[in-house]
Structure 1
Amino acid sequence: MPIITGAKVVVTCPGRNFVTLKIETDQGIYGLGDATLNGRELAVASYLQDHVIPCLVGRDAHRIEDIWQFLYRGAYWRRGPVTMSAIAAVDTALWDIKAKIAGLPLYQLLGGASRQGVMVYGHANGADIDATIDSARDYQQQGYRAIRLQSGVPGLASAYGVSKDKYFYEPADGDLPRENQWSTERYLRSVPELFERARGVLGNDVHLLHDAHHRLSPIEAGRLGRDLEPYRPFWLEDPTPAENQAGFRIIRQHTTTPIAVGEVFNSIWDCKQLIEEQLIDYIRTTVVHAGGITHLRRIADFAALHDVRTGCHGATDLSPVCMGAALHFDLSVPNFGVQEYMRHTPETDAVFPHAYSFADGYLHPGEEPGIGVDIDEAAAAKYPYRRAYLPVNRLEDGTMFNW
């Protein structure tokens, strides 16, 4: 039985901040877990270093379920993004260790492959509709079968999802939060035009997605979903803030556009009503923010009972450690839908060498034992932590709003 002898937290910033937990055992085998919480990274690093790691030393690394329950039930202050991201890091690292000891890629321990590869979607964006369409055509030529469309909104200086770089999008870009301006009315006029143009140029054989980023009321989301129906979107993501899960009933009453939500969820309780009442079609909880592979599998199994599929968050605020773990989960889970994929910078890839690969619109986690992702600590040390905040939003009259 492998005994945990120690653990350390590695914080590095090869273009953006990542928090990685490395758990070591008496057998010389270590495991990695992602603990990154965008804009609040040091809170999780402290939670791990000061409160979790002392409780791990001396425990049997194979007892993944027991350790998960210890960290969740034993903390008394349950759930929340900081706690669940810390638990996720431990859980992922332990699964990495278990699979390495077994000499198998992690997906084999999760029941084996349910498919040949994991369909992913890329992010096409631009300052205006023409630029977004050009970006989408580029992704289509690269073999992507699913593409998210985000475009600048006429009359607004900036818009969510529109990056300065063609491929690498990092919204946490200020030492203090940058303030953006928002107009729902302008936005609702622009998105249907974007989809009409995209479907006409890209054809019917590519899935088209869009992220509203929690900025609409339920009735506004219902209107947008209805307006997009002629263009058959794969999903409308995060149409409204989900704290009030019952609000999604209004969206369902007004549109047949599939709905995806959940990247900010951190437990099964956040999505219980949404899944039970079939108010969503895709659940976007992810390994790092929803308690690791152990808890994510519970969410996926619960979702499967209600014909809800997975669509895990996969932006660059997740390190390659999380992406590797997510791909093993995706490959194995029977009710998989799609995986978000934003490529990391070359600097990040150098810090986190990995076995996963992209071909013909699909990612595969590879066949290396464990999750197939490592960390070069010497390279990580070259990129010290740099404080970075996500932006905030104000309406045109100055009222604070959802970012």
Structure 2
Amino acid sequence: MSAIEKVEVLVTGAGRNFVTLRITTSDGVQGLGDATLNGRELSVASYLRDHIAPLLKGRDSTRIEDTWQYLYKGAYWRRGPVTMTAIAAVDMALWDIKGKVVGLPVYQLLGGKSRDKVLVYGHASGSDLPSLIDDMTEFRERGYQAIRAQMAVPGMGGTYGVRKGAIYEPAAADLPDEQLWSTEMYLKFAPDYLGKVREEFGFDFHLLHDVHHRLTPIEAARFGKDVEPMRLFWMEDPTPAENQETFRLIREHTTTPIAVGEVLNSIWDVQHLITNQLIDYVRTSVTHAGGITHLRRIFDLAALYQVRSGSHGPTDLSPVSLAAAVSLDIAIPNFGIQEHMVFAPETQEVFRGYPQFAAGYVTPSEAPGLGVEYDDAAAAKFPYDPKYLPVARRADGSLHDW
């Protein structure tokens, strides 16, 4: 038995705030897991350090499934982003260890390659149409074959998805940034600029757009119908997913594909959406949905209903998360697409060896395990810096979904 001997919770502000779990076995093998929950990072750090770490010491590191069930069922309080992110970190670290012990990359332990490379999409944005076109041009020149387009709605300077610099970072220090939102302005404006993107670049690449939970079901149905001529790869999170039956209304009114799931944390959260074929892509992430073990279950269920994967993968998830996601992407039969963003230089200094981009695709590392190493000395240079994601308010001052 290779017993778990040491459990460390590592917090760094290297470009973004990250929480990393490092497990060391009695044989000296180390595994990494991502435990980052943007804006609530320390809640997961405490959950791991104060509640899970004491349970892990002395356990057999090879019993990944049993450990997952132990942490999920044993807590009694199930699901939710904090619990599932903490369990995910343990799960990733144990898969990393197992791969290192047998000398194989994790994807080989999941059945090997179902494809040679993983299609990814980038994030183009602009404060106006000329800057969006310039950004789209840059992404096309870099080889991206799938690009998400987001543009600032005039009069709403804090429009979601628009970068302020080279790296997208919506979170801010102190209190959350309060941003103005108008659904009416968005519904009038977004289909127009997406149409202009197609006019400029044509249809020989995949165009995506993130609604970011902003619309009611009937508004989302109208939006989906308006953008049908643009042939979107998907419209992402068109309406909040708490009342999932409402997606049937959207489905009945538009053929624009629907992607949902980045804020959902378990197979039970997406079961209705998948089994009723109310979505086309499930976007649950390896970090927030219970790790490799549980995300594989979600994707296997989705495969039965012709729903494909589209894993959430922004830069507020660490390179460990990207490596774990790509390990699944390369192995599952119903892969769709993988979100991909360029990590900040500080992040790349701390995390080394993650999957690299080339000509619109990424490929997993061939190193044993997940292939990512954590540099403690580099991490120490970047202390944790508390930040909050923005909130949105309508013109009358009431809160809206951000």
Cα shift at 1:365: 1.4
Alpha carbons 2:309, 2:337 under 8 Å: kept: yes
- Cα distance in 1 for partners of 2:381, 2:194 equals 43
| Alpha-carbon distance in structure 2 between the residues aligned to 1:228 and 1:57 | 53
Instruction: Provide the residue aligned with 1:155 in structure 2.
Output: 155
Measured after TM superposition, the shift of residue 343 of structure 1 is 0.9
Counterpart position of 2:294: 295
CA apart distance, 1:367: 0.5
Q: Indicate conservation of the 8 Å contact 2:110/2:331, yes or no.
A: yes
Give the distance between the partners of 2:61 and 2:129, measured in 1 at CA. 51
Partner of 2:358: 359
Equivalent residue number for residue 263 of structure 1: 262
Alignment of 1:12-51 (within 5 A): 12-51=12-51
Q: State whether residues 20 and 89 of structure 1, in contact with CA within 8 Å, keep that contact through their aligned partners in structure 2.
A: yes
Q: Distance in 1 between matches of 2:362 and 2:174?
A: 34
Match of 1:234 in 2: 233
Matched AA of 1:290: A
Q: CA separation in 1, counterparts of 2:238 and 2:169?
A: 21
Note the C-alpha offset of 1:195.
Answer: 1.4
Match of 1:337 in 2: 336
Query: Is the contact between residue 35 and residue 85 of structure 1 (CA under 8 Å) also seen in structure 2?
Result: yes
1:122–1:146 Cα contact (<8 Å) kept: yes
Task: Quote the residue 1:87 is aligned against.
Answer: 87
Partner of 1:118: 118
> What does 1:243-282 align with in structure 2 at a 5 Å threshold?
243-282=242-281
Q: What do the CA deviations read for 1:14-46 (whole angstroms, capped 9, x no partner)? A: 121000000000111010000000000000000
Corresponding residue for residue 133 of structure 2: 133
Q: Which runs of 5+ in 2 are unaligned?
A: none
DSSP 3-state at the match of 1:304: helix
Equivalents in 2 of 1:206, 1:389: separation in Å? Answer: 34
Q: Is the 8 A contact 1:174 1:390 kept in 2?
A: no
SS at structure 2 position matched to 1:2: coil
1:307: how far off? 0.3
Letter matched to residue 352 of structure 2: P
Partner of 2:318: 319
Q: Aligned-residue CA RMSD in angstroms?
A: 0.7
Q: CA offsets, 1:37-69, max 9 Å, x none? A: 000000000000000000000010000000000
- Note the C-alpha offset of 1:380: 0.6
Q: Is the 8 A contact 1:283 1:310 kept in 2?
A: yes
| Distance across 1 between alignment mates of 2:191 and 2:129 | 11
Aligned pair count reads: 402
The worse-fitting range, judged by mean Cα deviation, of 364-373 and 62-71 is 364-373
Report if aligned partners of 1:156, 1:181 keep a CA contact under 8 Å in 2: yes
| Alpha-carbon distance between aligned partners in 2 of 1:156 and 1:285, rounded to the nearest angstrom | 29
The residue aligned with 2:171 is 172
Separation in 2 of the partners of 1:33 and 1:179? 33
Can you give the 5+ residue segments of structure 1 that lack an aligned partner in the other structure?
none
Q: How far apart, CA to CA, are the structure 2 residues paired with 1:339 and 1:165?
A: 23
- Contact between 1:7 and 1:22, CA under 8 Å: does it hold in 2? yes
Q: Alignment partner of 1:271: what SS?
A: helix
Q: Measure, in 2, the Cα distance between the counterparts of 1:19 and 1:206.
A: 35
Q: Is the 8 A contact 2:292 2:328 kept in 1?
A: yes
Q: How much does 1:129 deviate?
A: 2.0
TM-score of the superposed pair, with normalisation by structure 1: 0.99
Contact 2:319 2:354 (8 Å CA) reproduced: no
- Structure 1 residue 10 displacement after superposition: 0.3
Amino acid at match of 1:49: R
- Aligned mates of 1:136, 1:189 — CA distance in 2: 22
Partner of 1:390: 389
Q: Does the CA-based 8 Å contact 1:265-1:271 persist in structure 2? A: yes
1:61 matches 2:61 = yes
2:193 counterpart residue number: 194
Superposition deviation, residue 157 in structure 1: 2.1
Per the normalisation by structure 2, the TM-score is 0.99
Cα displacement (A) at 1:174? 2.4
Q: Deviations over 1:216-236 (max 9, x none)?
A: 000000000000000100000
Cα distance per residue 1:242-262 (max 9 Å; x no partner):
000001011001100000000
SS of equivalent to 2:148: strand
Aligned-partner residue type, residue 62 of structure 2: H
- Deviations along 1:152-194, one digit per CA (max 9) or x if unpaired, are 001212200001113x101112221110000001001111111
Tell me, yes or no, if the aligned pair for 2:320 and 2:354 is still in contact at 8 Å.
Answer: no
- Distance in 1 of aligned mates of 2:353 and 2:197: 34
Shift of 1:118: 0.5
Q: CA deviation at 1:356?
A: 1.4
Q: Report the CA distance between 1:386 and its aligned residue.
A: 0.8
Partner of 2:185, secondary structure, is helix
Query: How far 1:355 sits from its partner (Å)?
Result: 3.9
Mapped to 2, the partners of 1:301 and 1:75 lie a distance apart of 25
Where does residue 400 of structure 2 map in the other structure?
401
**What secondary structure is seen at the aligned counterpart in 1 of 2:252?**
helix
Aligned residue number for residue 214 of structure 1: 213
